[in-house]
Amino acid sequence: MQPKLRIAAITDEYSPDLALALSAMTATGMTGAELRVLWGKNIMDLSDDELSKAKALLAEHEMEVISIASPLLKCVLPNAPEIDGRFQQDVFAAKHTFEDQPRLTDHAFKVAEFFGAKIVRVFSYWRTVEPEKTYDAVASALHSLGDKAAPRGLTVGLENEHACNVATAAHSAKMLSMVQHPFVKLVWDPANALCSGESPFPGGYSLLPKDRIVHVHAKDCHMEDHKPIWGPLGTRNVDWKGQIDALWNDGYRGWLSLETHWPGPGGNKMEASTICGWNLRGLASM
């Protein structure tokens, strides 16, 4: 059965070797790819030759690049409240500072155009002990990014991330109300909301402006001692069947993109993502 919503993955969740990742994704019926880490390097740090090599491999596998999973605004915001040390900061081979953001922005947009991607994923600075005190600065940065993305026909996709200041659906709804920009939308990640103490579906999802959801990340976990324990998609505490049904019924026709996070049997990430990829296909077909 063909999925009613198109399925994709962040390629390095399968393997940092792009060719291996694309082969496994294609076998699962995926037709879209998000680019984050390739051959051990963050997408922002690839050479022109490496970018061209990636583009050729993607074309060979007839894989559409749907998003550049950039690390934009995944840094410390100066003069903000202190960083909340409870949350692990996943950098995915990116170590950029606040001062790097203008250069990264320009490069991320150029990379998106090179691959024909329409979404550039961004964040909301590393989470502080008082997230809402950062919201004016986050909103200003997002509006500026939207202004720069608009003439290029790109969408800035703010991901709710438990290690950043916009972590839950409630936070996301607040931020989207502050940034009324047609080229700034939401990358909805229910599991990240769960990690932040929110019930993502139906509770959190009910708070979101549905027409501002541009992309959805799929992973699954349960919480132990305030830490996420990742597992096979559709078997933990996110109601993925209910969430996908609601997205469909509310008119969402974007992608469901796997971001496995589960280390897998014996630490085999390829096997973990293969299992989760088939689970995603099944859930998206129901």
* Residue 71 three-state SS: strand
Q: Is residue 1 part of a domain?
A: no
Q: Is residue 67 part of a domain?
A: yes
Which pLDDT belongs to residue 93?
55
Strand bridging mode 37-38 / 41-42: antiparallel
Question: Given pLDDT bands bounded at 50, 70 and 90, which one contains residue 227?
Answer: very high
135/118 Cα distance (integer angstroms): 25
Task: Domain count for the chain, please give it.
Answer: 1
Q: What is the pLDDT of residues 67-105, one digit of tens each?
A: 999 999 999 999 999 999 887 776 555 578 999 999 999
Cβ–Cβ < 8 Å for 164, 141: no
Q: What angle do CA 67, 71, 76 make, to 5 degrees?
A: 155
Which pLDDT belongs to residue 87?
73
**DSSP secondary structure letters along 25-69:** HHHTT--EEEESEETTEEGGG--HHHHHHHHHHHHHTT-EEEEEE
Which pLDDT belongs to residue 85?
81
Strand bridging mode 213-218 / 255-258: parallel
Query: Structure tokens of 26?
Result: 């294609």
Which pLDDT belongs to residue 240?
98
Which pLDDT belongs to residue 94?
56
Task: Report the sign of the C-alpha dihedral through residues 90, 271, 257, 218, in that order.
Answer: negative
Which pLDDT belongs to residue 96?
83
Strand bridging mode 227-230 / 221-224: antiparallel
CA 255 to chain centre: 11
Q: Is residue 221 part of a domain?
A: yes
Q: What is the pLDDT of residues 259-272, one digit of tens each?
A: 999 999 999 999 99
Going by C-alpha positions, the residue among 152, 146, 220, 211 that lies closest to residue 183 is 146
Q: Is residue 125 part of a domain?
A: yes
Query: Domain span at residue 98?
Result: 6-285
For residue 141, give the amino acid letter.
Answer: A
| Percent of the chain scoring above 70 in pLDDT | 98
Q: What is the pLDDT of residues 5-62, one digit of tens each?
A: 999 999 999 999 999 999 999 999 999 999 999 999 999 999 999 999 999 999 999 9
Q: Is residue 180 part of a domain?
A: yes
Stretch 140-151: mean pLDDT: 98
* Residue 132 three-state SS: helix
Question: Given pLDDT bands bounded at 50, 70 and 90, which one contains residue 2?
Answer: confident
What residue has token string 């990014």?
Answer: 145
Which pLDDT belongs to residue 71?
95
* Residues composing the chain: 286
Going by C-alpha positions, the residue among 161, 181, 248 that lies closest to residue 210 is 248
Round the average pLDDT of the chain to a whole number and report it.
96
Q: Is residue 130 part of a domain?
A: yes
Q: What is the CATH number of the domain that holds 130?
A: 3.20.20.150
Label residues 213-235 b or e (16+ Cβ within 10 Å = b).
Answer: bbbbbbbbbeeeeeebebbbbbe
Q: What is the pLDDT of residues 243-259, one digit of tens each?
A: 999 999 999 999 999 99
Q: Is residue 167 part of a domain?
A: yes
Q: What angle do CA 260, 266, 267 make, to 5 degrees?
A: 40
